Structure 1
Amino acid sequence: MSYLKFDKNLMINLEQSLPKEMLRTNQAGAYHCTTIVDCNTRKQHGLLVVPIPEMGNSWHVMLSSLDETVYQHGAPFNLGLHRYSGGVMSPNGHKYIREFDCESVPRTTYRVGGVILTKEKIFISNENRILIRYTLVEAHSATTLRFRPVLAFREANELCIANDTLNTEIPEIDNGVSACLYKGYPRLFMQFSHKPSWTYDPHWYNGFEYVKDLERGVPYTEDLWVPGYFEVPIKKGESIIFSAGLSEVSPRSLARMYEKEIAQRTCRTSFFNCLKNAVKQCYLKDHESMYLLSGYPWGKTLARNTFMALPGATIAINHREDFEKIMSTALKALRNFMKTGELDRRIMGIDLPDNPLWAVWALQQYAKAYSREEASAKYLSDIRAILDYILANKHPLLHIDSDNGMVSTDGTVKPMSWMNASLGGRPIIPRTGYLVEFNALWYNALIFATRLTQGDEQAKYQAAADKMAEPFVHTFLNDYGYLYDYVNGTYADPSVRPNMAIAIGLDYSPLDRRQRKRILDIVTRELLTPKGLRTLSPKSFGYRPNYLGSPEDREIALHNGPSRPWLIGFYSDAYLKVFGMSGVSYIDRMLIGFEDEMTQGCIGSLSQLYDANPPYVGRGAISHVTNVAEVLRTLTTLKKFIMD
C-alpha cells in the first residue's frame, strides 16, 4: 500500500489538497510545516520555524516560504502558491504539480512543458537547518531557476505588518546571502550548493491570508518582506541544494549533509511507521536533557502529557533508552517540586495533582515491557518517594482523605485535570472533590507498589489500597452501571465522560470484571467513535460535538463532545481485560479509523481532537503526541496480546 502519495488530480484540486498539511521537525525544537501544495494556511506555517531562547523560547517564523520560478526561453513559470486578501490564489503554481510523495521526505514533482523538476525537503537532525534539493529530471533546452525568499522574522502566533523599522541590509556570503530583519533575532543564512547570482530587489508583499486562522476567528492577514531573488542555471540530471539555517555552512558540504541525513530516515510505508515518525517528531533534545513536546504547531513541554505519552512514544517503538532519558528529565523536575515546591523552567504544569500518579503509571508500563526487577532497580526509589509524598499529604493540590483513603483536589478556581478548558481564568468544567481517574490511578499505583516491595513497606501500600477499595466503588459506581465523573460532597456529577474508561483500563482496579463490563458497555454505546472516545455523551447536558466557532465557542466545546484518540488506549486495555482473545479482532477494526487519518489533516499523524459526529473532522493542533503515542501503545498491546 502506498500511504503518502498524492497524484495530480488531488494536488490541483485545492479543495482536497489545501486541507492536507505536512510537518517536519529536527528534534531540537525547530520545524517546517505547510500544506502539501506549499501554500501556508495558518500563521504558524513556515519553511523554517525555530525556538529562540533569548526571546522567551517561543517559536519564530524566520523563512516563511521560498518561491520558485522555472525559466525557459525567457518565459517564467512560477511554482509558488499563496492566498491573498479576498481569497485570491496566486500565482497558482499548484497546476504544475504531478505528484507529491511524503513516504521518505516530502517530494514534489513538477511538470512545466518539457521540464520535469523534483523538489525534496529535509531537516538536519538537532540543527536549525532545512535543506531543499531540486533535481532537473528532464529538459529539452537551457533552464534557469529563480528563487524568492519570503521572510517573516516574527513570533509564530503573531502577524507581521509592513513597517520601516526592519534592517534591509542583505550582505552576500559564500554562495548566498544572510538577513536579520529585527534586533534580537539571530541571523538567517541562505545558501546554495551551486553559486547563484543575487539580485537585491526589496518589496513588501501585502495581504497574505491564512484561511485556517480565518476559520478559527483570529487575526489572519499579514505582510511579508522579499529582499530580492537568486538565479541558478541547472542542467538535465543535475541537483541543486538550498540551505536555510542559523549558521553559515560550506556549500561544498551540502550534498554530503543531505545524503547522510536521508539515510537515517524510516520510510512511512505502513500505519505503524507513520505513527513512529510522527511521535519521534515530538522528541526534544537540549544538551543532556530530553523532553516530549505536546504537539505542533503550538505545543509545549507539559508534565502531564509527557507522562501520559511516554510509554507509547518510546517503549512501543522499541526506544527504551529514550524512555529512560525523557523520564530522567521529567523525574528530576518532579523530585525538585516535591522537595522544594519550585516549578520547572522547561516542563510546564509539574505541580498539577495527577502528575505523580501518571508518572507511576508510566513506570508501570516500563515494568510490564521489560521486568519488575529492572523497573524496581531503576525506579523504585522514585515510586516510593511519590507514594510516600502523597500519603503524607504533602502535595499542595492533592489531598488524602483520612476516613476513606481516597484522593481529592479543588478544581473550582483552576482546572486540575486534563479537562482543563477555561474562560476568564475559571474552569468550564469544575471537576473538584473526588475525580474518578485520580482515584483509579491512585489505587493502581498503590497495588503496583506492592508488587515491587516486601515486608512492612508492602503492607503499608496494601493497607492504603484496601482502605480505599470499597469507598471507591461506593462513591463512583451508580445505579445506572457507570461511574460518576467526580463527586464533591453530596454532589455526584452524572455526566457520561471518558474518564471512567481510564478507571476500567488500568491493570489494578477496585472494580470486578462484571462491573467493568457494564461500564465498558456504556462507554462503547455512548462515547466510542472511529476517532477515539467522546469527551461527553450526546445524552448528557451541554453536548457540543463540533470544535468550531469563536475562540470562546471552541473552548466551551473542547471537553464537551469532541473525541480524543488517546483514550482508545485505555478503552482497548479494558476491552481486552473483559473479553480476552475474542476482543482482539474488534480492537483491530477500531484502529482502522485512525489508519484512515494518515492521509488526512497533517498527513502521517493525528490531530489533537476530532468532531464527535460524522464526518469526524480533525481539529486543534495538527499533530498531538499523546494521541499518536496511545494509538502506538494500542498497536503494540494488540500484537503482544496475540503473541502471548
Structure 2
Amino acid sequence: MKDLDTREWLLTNGLGSFASGTVCDARTRTYHGWLIAALEPPGRRTLLLSHLDASLEVAGQLWALSTNFWSGGKIDPLGYQLLRSFEIDPVPSWMWGEEHWRLTRQLAMPSGWVEAGDGESLINAQAPLGNRILIQYRYEGTQVATLRLRPIIGDRDFHHQQSANEGLQFSQLVKPQQIYLQGIRADQVGAPWLLRWSGGEYQPEGVWYWNYYYPEENRRGLGDKEDLYSPGYLSVVLHPGEAVTLEARVGWPEVVLPDLNCNSFEQALQAEQERQSQLYAQAPVTVKGEREMIWHQLLRAGDQFIAYRASISGPTVIAGYPWFNDWGRDTLIALPGLTLATGRFTLARGLLETFGAYCRGGLIPNTFPDAGAEPIYNSIDASLWWIEILGIYLETTQDWEFLAQQYPLVRKIYKALTAGTLYHIRVDAADGLLTWNVPNVALTWMDVVIDGHPVTPRRGKPVEINALWYSALCWMTRWTEKLVNDSRNDSVRLSHQAEHYSQQSRKVKASLQKFWNTERNYLYDTIEPDDRRDARIRPNGVLALSLHHCGFAKAQGRRVLRVACDRLLTPYGLRSLDPSDPAYVGYYKGDRFHRDRAYHQGTVWSWLIGPFIRAWKRFYETEPLPWNPLPLLEHFQEQACLGSISEIFDADPPYAPQGAIAQAWSVAELMRHFEDL
C-alpha cells in the first residue's frame, strides 16, 4: 500500500485567513481546511469550507479521490493511492490518475488587500477584496467523465471541533451556479458565505458526516474528532481538456460578481504571481542560480505572515500558522528579515508605528486586541526590542525624519522603565540594571505558565533583557547627539540628555560583568531578586551577544560562543537548555502539560540561529561559521510545511520538527542572513 504523505502546505491572504492541508489530501489537524476565514482581520478565524469530497466516473467506473481519517484510525476512501504527483509551486496542485485519465486540482487564495501604490505598505490599503479561495479541476483522458464534488462545511472557531446537534443547522439558498450558506445556532447566526462554480448541476442533499479523526491532534493530546456537514453535491460533465472552477467567498455580495469561468483561476494566479514578482524586484539581495530560487521561495514564505489588522487600521505580522495570532515581540524580532532584508521599508516603518502607538506605561503590547478589546502588556522586552529594531531600521534607511517623530516615545519608554512600571519593572539604582519581580507570571520570551506557575520564571535581571537595555541606552545616546546637531532642537537640553544616557550606558556595561560565570565561561541566565545567579546554559547568553550594541568583551564573547557550539547548537537552531542539565527534555511530545514543560527546557528554536550568526560574525570575524545551513534549507523545501520553517524541533536527534508548521521569526532570521550562508 502506498504510504500517506502527511507533509503540509499553506496558503494565506494577508488578512489572517488561510488554507492548509496535507500532500496526501487527508485532514490531520483541526486547523486543516480550504477556507479558514478571518472575519475580523486577522482575528475571529472561522472554518467555513473544509474541503470538497471528490469522485470521478469514467466509462462507468467510479474512482473515489478523497482521503479521510475516521474515528478508530480507519482511512476511507483511499484516494491517496491514485495520487500521482503533488507540486507546491506556484500553488498547491494535485494530480490523480489511472491509465486512461488524469485529474488535476489547484488551489489559489488571492490576496485580500491591495497594498499602497509604492508596493510596500499595507497602511493605506484599499477596501478589502475579501476572504476567498479558488479551486480548479482539469480533466485529461480518452473519454467523457463526470466529476462529483460534495462541499464539506462547518461554522466554528478554528481552534475547536464541531459536533452535529440540534442546536446547529445550516441554511442554504440555491441560485443558478451558486449557493448561499450560513450556520445557524439558537444564540447566534454564523458568517454568511457563498460557493459558486463555472459549470455543473447542483443537487441539494443535506447530510452530516460524523467522526472525522485528526491524528495530529491526538498526538498532541487534544480533541481529535469532528462532525462536518454537506449541503449537497455538484455534478460536472468534463470532456478531455476541460476544467471547472469553483470559488468560496465570505459574505453575500451586494453587487453582481464577475462571471466565474475557467479563465478566472488563471487570472487570479497571474495577479498573485505579478504581486510576488514585485517583491522579488524590490528585494536588495542579489543571488543567482539555485540560490536565487531558494531566495524567491523565502520571500514568498515571509510574505505569508504579513497581515492587515482591522482594529488598528495598520499592518501586523502573524507569529505562526496554523494557530498563532500577531504578537509584539515576535513581530519586532521578525521585522528586519521580513521587511529590511526585502526592501519593504515603508512596511517596516508602518509596523514600528503600529506597535509604538499602543505603548502604555513604557511597555509595548505583546498581544494585540481584536475590536473593542484591550491589549495585553505581558512582556518586559517588547519595548526594548522596539527600540533595538527602530535603531536597525534607521541605520538601514537613514530615515531621520522618523527618528524625530518617534523620539518622544523613546523618551517615554525610558522614563517609565527608570521610574518603574507594571510587574515591578524598574531600574535598580545600585547597578543600573533592569529588574522585575512578580510571582506566577513570565515576561520574557521563555513565557510558558502551567496552572499559574511559570516553567522558567526568570524573575530579577535576565541577561538578554539587560543586554537589550544596554543597547537601548547606546541608541538613545547616539540619537540624542544627532538631534543636538539639528538647529531646530534645544541643543543645550539635548546635550545634557545625551551625556546622561552615555553615563548610564557605561554604568550598565560595567554591571553586565555580574553575568560573567568564570567557572563555566558563559553568562549567567538570570540574577534573581535575592541576588542568586542562575548558571544554567541557555541561548539567552548568545542572544545578549547578538544585539547592535554589545557590552561584553571579545574574549568573553568567544568563550560563550564556544560553549554554545558545544552544548546548544544543532542543525536546526539552538537548544533552549544544556543537555547535561537535570531539567533537560529531549523530545517535545505528549499532551499539552508535557509539551509545555519541554517548550523551553531543551527544545530547539530555529529563530535563534539568527542571533548565533550575528554573534559569531562579531566575535569570530574571519573564521567560518560552524553551522551548515543545508539541513534547515532542506527542511524549508522538503519537510513539514513545504516552503516554510517550523517553530521548534526536538532537542535530540533526529531533531523532528514540532510546534507551529510555519513560524514568522524562523523564516525571517534565515532571510536576514541568507547572503551570509
Asked if 1:403 is matched to 2:430, the reply is yes
* Secondary structure of 1:171 counterpart: strand
Alignment correspondent of 1:388: 415
Asked if 1:205 is matched to 2:232, the reply is no
Asked if 1:323 is matched to 2:348, the reply is yes
Question: CA contact under 8 A between 1:278 and 1:628: conserved in structure 2?
Answer: yes
Larger mean CA deviation between 496-505 and 218-227 belongs to 218-227
Alignment correspondent of 2:133: 130
Asked if 1:222 is matched to 2:226, the reply is yes
Letter aligned with residue 363 of structure 1 = L
Letter aligned with residue 72 of structure 2 = G
Which structure 2 residues correspond to residues 238-253 of structure 1 after superposition, within 5 A? 238-248=242-252, 250=257, 252-253=259-260
Alignment correspondent of 1:578: 619
Residue segments in structure 1 that go unaligned for 5+ positions in a row: 1-8, 640-644
* Secondary structure of 1:272 counterpart: helix
Question: CA contact under 8 A between 1:303 and 1:349: conserved in structure 2?
Answer: no
Residue segments in structure 2 that go unaligned for 5+ positions in a row: 113-129, 281-291, 482-494
2: CA distance, partners of 1:564 / 1:382: 32
Alignment correspondent of 1:187: 192
Asked if 1:13 is matched to 2:18, the reply is no
2: CA distance, partners of 1:224 / 1:379: 50
Alignment match of 1:365 (pick from 354, 371, 392): 392
2: CA distance, partners of 1:82 / 1:452: 59
Which structure 2 residues correspond to residues 439-518 of structure 1 after superposition, within 5 A? 439-454=466-481, 455-488=495-528, 489-518=530-559
Question: CA contact under 8 A between 1:216 and 1:551: conserved in structure 2?
Answer: yes
Deviation track 1:8-40 (CA, whole Å, cap 9, x = no partner) reads x9xx421xx11x011101110111011112211
Question: CA contact under 8 A between 2:539 and 2:576: conserved in structure 1?
Answer: yes
2: CA distance, partners of 1:285 / 1:246: 17
Alignment correspondent of 1:422: 449
Alignment correspondent of 1:552: 593
1: CA distance, partners of 2:366 / 2:334: 24
Question: CA contact under 8 A between 2:517 and 2:535: conserved in structure 1?
Answer: no
Deviation track 1:214-260 (CA, whole Å, cap 9, x = no partner) reads 11111101221122200111222222111011135636145555334
Asked if 1:565 is matched to 2:606, the reply is yes
Alignment match of 2:381 (pick from 344, 354, 369): 354
* Secondary structure of 1:359 counterpart: helix
1: CA distance, partners of 2:515 / 2:43: 44
Structure with the larger helix share: 1
Alignment match of 1:75 (pick from 61, 64, 73): 61
Larger mean CA deviation between 232-241 and 490-499 belongs to 232-241
Question: CA contact under 8 A between 1:62 and 1:154: conserved in structure 2?
Answer: yes
2: CA distance, partners of 1:211 / 1:580: 47
TM-superposed CA distance for 1:540, in Å, is 1.4
Larger mean CA deviation between 562-571 and 342-351 belongs to 342-351
Alignment correspondent of 2:125: none
Question: CA contact under 8 A between 2:442 and 2:458: conserved in structure 1?
Answer: yes
Alignment correspondent of 1:3: none
2: CA distance, partners of 1:311 / 1:257: 36
TM-superposed CA distance for 1:396, in Å, is 4.9
Letter aligned with residue 22 of structure 2 = T
TM-score (norm 1): 0.91
Larger mean CA deviation between 556-565 and 233-242 belongs to 233-242
Which structure 2 residues correspond to residues 273-292 of structure 1 after superposition, within 5 A? 273-287=296-310, 288-292=313-317
Question: CA contact under 8 A between 2:337 and 2:669: conserved in structure 1?
Answer: yes
Alignment match of 1:261 (pick from 255, 268, 272): 268
Letter aligned with residue 37 of structure 2 = V
Alignment correspondent of 1:642: none
Alignment match of 1:41 (pick from 13, 28, 31): 28
Kindly tell me: are residues 556 and 310 of structure 1, through their superposed partners in 2, closer, same or farther at Cα, counting changes over 3 Å?
same
TM-superposed CA distance for 1:577, in Å, is 0.8
- Calculate the aligned-residue CA RMSD, in Å: 2.4
TM-score (norm 2): 0.87
TM-superposed CA distance for 1:561, in Å, is 0.5
TM-superposed CA distance for 1:390, in Å, is 2.1
Kindly tell me: are residues 342 and 426 of structure 1, through their superposed partners in 2, closer, same or farther at Cα, counting changes over 3 Å?
closer
Asked if 1:103 is matched to 2:82, the reply is no
Deviation track 1:176-225 (CA, whole Å, cap 9, x = no partner) reads 2122122421122111022x211122221112110001111111012211
Question: CA contact under 8 A between 2:361 and 2:421: conserved in structure 1?
Answer: no
Deviation track 1:29-86 (CA, whole Å, cap 9, x = no partner) reads 11101111221101111111112349x9432111111111111223221111101122
1: CA distance, partners of 2:132 / 2:103: 23
Question: CA contact under 8 A between 1:569 and 1:630: conserved in structure 2?
Answer: yes
Deviation track 1:542-597 (CA, whole Å, cap 9, x = no partner) reads 0001110121111111100010011111100010111113335x45x235434434
Q: Percent identity?
A: 27
2: CA distance, partners of 1:216 / 1:525: 31
* Secondary structure of 1:219 counterpart: coil
TM-superposed CA distance for 1:379, in Å, is 3.7
Question: CA contact under 8 A between 1:193 and 1:251: conserved in structure 2?
Answer: no
Number of aligned residue pairs: give it: 619
* Secondary structure of 2:168 counterpart: coil
2: CA distance, partners of 1:50 / 1:565: 28
TM-superposed CA distance for 1:394, in Å, is 4.2
Deviation track 1:432-489 (CA, whole Å, cap 9, x = no partner) reads 1010000000001111222222222221211111111111112444432101110112
Asked if 1:26 is matched to 2:29, the reply is no
Kindly tell me: are residues 337 and 124 of structure 1, through their superposed partners in 2, closer, same or farther at Cα, counting changes over 3 Å?
farther
Letter aligned with residue 109 of structure 1 = M
* Secondary structure of 1:631 counterpart: helix
Kindly tell me: are residues 490 and 381 of structure 1, through their superposed partners in 2, closer, same or farther at Cα, counting changes over 3 Å?
closer
Deviation track 1:364-411 (CA, whole Å, cap 9, x = no partner) reads 221232237466345434333322332333455421011111000125
Deviation track 1:121-173 (CA, whole Å, cap 9, x = no partner) reads 0002112100011122x221111111001112111121122222333432112
Question: CA contact under 8 A between 1:192 and 1:251: conserved in structure 2?
Answer: no
* Secondary structure of 1:244 counterpart: strand
Kindly tell me: are residues 100 and 348 of structure 1, through their superposed partners in 2, closer, same or farther at Cα, counting changes over 3 Å?
farther
Alignment correspondent of 1:604: 643
Alignment correspondent of 2:118: none
Alignment correspondent of 2:39: 52
Alignment correspondent of 1:5: none
Letter aligned with residue 28 of structure 1 = L
Alignment correspondent of 1:172: 174
TM-superposed CA distance for 1:112, in Å, is 3.2
Asked if 1:270 is matched to 2:293, the reply is yes
Kindly tell me: are residues 478 and 432 of structure 1, through their superposed partners in 2, closer, same or farther at Cα, counting changes over 3 Å?
farther
Which structure 2 residues correspond to residues 138-177 of structure 1 after superposition, within 5 A? 138-177=140-179
TM-superposed CA distance for 1:343, in Å, is 8.5
Question: CA contact under 8 A between 1:40 and 1:210: conserved in structure 2?
Answer: yes
TM-superposed CA distance for 1:507, in Å, is 2.3
